Amino acid sequence: MTPSFMDLYGEATKTAVGFFWKAGWAFVLGYYVSGMIQAFVPKGRLTPYLGNPGFKSLSLASVFGAISSSCSFAALATARSLVLKGAHFVAAVAFMFASTNLVIELGILILIFLGWQFLAAEVIGGILLIGISSLLIRLTFPSSPCR
């Protein structure tokens, strides 16, 4: 028997709501973190930690990104908030890549379902992505803004 339109529509709606429910927490958490940075972090407070394109700033931004586990839209909003509060652009980009590629929960799922080899590839690939992007940004980013 062929399912009716309403059966198919109901199943599609159920699947869409399920996807929204499962992915919605990443949006909410990411925008929450962005809002907290905007509301409670004074301008320049992040500068000693994330204010230069050095190894320390990249490492801290990557760790913060990995534990934030944001979706890409929320990671972008958070990175913008970081830059507005005194973080260097390179550190903000490292945060964005880490929050979408070095997510702890994603690593656990990769380990369980695909094995340690894929987890190692994910971590090494994420670190390489952060390193290459920081190098390219340092080479192409103007030292003083154009006005």
Q: Is the pLDDT of residue 146 over 60?
A: no
pTM (2 d.p.): 0.78
Mean pLDDT, residues 102-125 taken together:
92
Query: What is the mean pLDDT of the segment spanning 3-14?
Result: 91
Q: Where are the domains of the chain?
A: 5-140
pLDDT at 136: 94
DSSP letters spanning 12-81: HHHHHHHHHHHHHHHHHHHHHHHHHHHHHSPTTTTHHHHSSSSHHHHHHHHHHHHHH---HHHHHHHHHH
Give the per-residue pLDDT at 20: 83
pLDDT tens digits for range 37-96: 888 988 888 889 999 889 999 999 999 988 886 677 788 888 989 999 999 999 999 999
